[in-house]
Chain A
């Protein structure tokens, strides 16, 4: 056993954690931008 499979598993999990958080920020930002636009157009009316 040299630990190659463990290395691949670890890098996969760490990549998943990073990608998950970046995607969370991206989707949250898009959602908040939409909601803020709705509120600003409502307040203008």
Chain B
């Protein structure tokens, strides 16, 4: 990729990130000021439900990140492609970012609504925490281990097995609903989800999708720059970037 392509990618990434953040702020404001209050007799902490306008898009973005991680790991194994590794790295970074958001905002709502922040018997909560744990492991390993083919093979394998948790987590509330609420948009028609709530949620999804794409482009560019720097260092030393693990 040329420097011109690289700088236009950065500019687009910055633009999308700014647009996505603006949309997320509007979503939060709409969630607080426009979305109606839920039935106060059916909820212990009715105002706290408004956390979901960021909590749900955060969760959705984390699934996108894990899909990116999976595709990157497959591409790495198939062709040993650098773009595959960059997708894997970006997917793990963003999976950790959005996953952390989900597992911090969820227990805050849980402690207000359920009276306890966590339920160790709930499949959705625990598989999602494991998924975020896998992303944390991958991010820390990438930063602490020397970059090389063996390290990449090992981490990509962990990522592939970790991805198996995504469908389990996504369908957990359908298979085994204990405490975590079901899929709100899919079940919306039958549960009578208010159209205003649905609108704000859709606005959140769109904003976070744009934000996700912007962050992925910027993160991808950072990893590309790190590779270029590493390659320059190795060229000065007279080797190539995979030499260190061979």
Contact = CB atoms under 8 A, between A and B. Distances in A.
Interface of A: 1-4, 6-7, 9-11, 13-14, 17-18, 21-22, 25, 28-29, 32-33, 35-36, 39-40, 42-43
A25 B229 contact: no
Interface string B23-57: 01000100010000000100011111111001100
Interface residues of B, number: 41
B69 to A, nearest CB: 16
B225 A29 contact: yes
Nearest to A18: B21
Looking at B40, B97, B113, the one whose CB has the most chain A CB atoms below 10 A away is: B97
Given A2-B46, A29-B225, A32-B222, A21 B97 contact: yes
B153 interface: no
A21 B44 CA distance: 33
A13 B104 CA distance: 8
24 contacts: A1-B112, A2-B40, A3-B46, A3-B47, A3-B112, A4-B48, A7-B32, A7-B48, A10-B54, A10-B55, A10-B104, A10-B109, A13-B105, A14-B55, A17-B101, A18-B211, A21-B215, A22-B21, A22-B215, A28-B222, A29-B10, A32-B225, A40-B232, A43-B236
A6 B24 contact: no
Interface string B211-246: 100010011011001101100110010000000000
A25 B218 contact: yes
